[in-house]
């Protein structure tokens, strides 16, 4: 393991599930605390996780939360085909001034947090490429609502 990855500063702890949930709620209550830019693949809108009611509620929640000024949600349409975002989930975090940027990457076995500048640069480039293929906010909301009404109506 590269030395930089061994000494990732404490912001790596921000990626814990409990903290992630708390930060999500805090960001919703006080928009100045956090900015979130999320890009998801259209397949997520159609893949059944749970029952129809769960899918309906979760997708409605996505639209509702993405209306907040500090949250931007974008969907990469299926027509784009393969894109680098399909290689795996990742998150880039700029925690606060003075704390280096960190990246969290998931794979089937485990997650990896890195503060290595070359890794962060590569992942940031991937994010920008995927984001450039995604729909703008309004079209994203329309596509999610369409999936809810056509596929997940209660």
Tell me whether residue 101 is in a domain.
yes
Tell me whether residue 111 is in a domain.
yes
Half-sphere exposure of 102 (CA within 13 A, CB side): 22
Structurally, how many domains does the chain consist of?
A: 1
Q: pTM of the predicted model, to two decimals?
A: 0.74
Give, as one character, the DSSP assignment of residue 43.
H
Tell me whether residue 18 is in a domain.
no
Tell me whether residue 70 is in a domain.
yes
pLDDT at 153: 84
**Separation of alpha carbons 133 and 91, rounded Å:** 18
Tell me whether residue 102 is in a domain.
yes
Provide the domain limits for residue 145: 34-151
At 72-93, the pLDDT tens digits run 999 999 999 998 888 889 999 8
Widest Cα–Cα separation across the chain = 52
Tell me whether residue 139 is in a domain.
yes
Tell me whether residue 115 is in a domain.
yes
At 14-59, the pLDDT tens digits run 444 445 555 555 555 554 567 889 999 999 999 999 999 999 999 9
Tell me whether residue 20 is in a domain.
no
At 100-131, the pLDDT tens digits run 889 999 988 888 999 999 999 999 999 999 99
Beta strands 102-106 and 111-114: pairing type?
Answer: antiparallel
3-state per-residue secondary structure call for 78-110:
HHHCCCHHHHCCEEEECCCCCCCCEEEEECCCC
């Amino acid at each position: 393991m590269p030395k930089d990855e061994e000494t990732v500063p404490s912001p790596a702890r921000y990626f814990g599930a409990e903290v992630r949930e708390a930060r999500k709620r805090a960001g919703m209550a006080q928009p100045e605390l956090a900015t979130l830019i999320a890009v998801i693949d259209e397949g997520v809108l159609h893949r059944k996780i749970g029952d129809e009611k769960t899918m309906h509620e979760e997708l409605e929640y996505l639209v509702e939360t993405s209306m907040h000024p500090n949250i931007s949600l974008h969907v990469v349409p299926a027509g784009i085909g393969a894109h680098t975002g399909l290689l795996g989930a990742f998150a880039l975090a700029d925690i606060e001034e003075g704390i280096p940027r960190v990246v969290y990457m998931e794979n089937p076995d485990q997650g990896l947090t890195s503060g290595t500048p070359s890794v962060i640069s590569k992942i940031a480039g991937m994010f920008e490429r995927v984001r450039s293929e995604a729909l703008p906010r309004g079209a994203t909301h329309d596509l999610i609502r369409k999936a809810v009404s056509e596929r997940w109506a209660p």
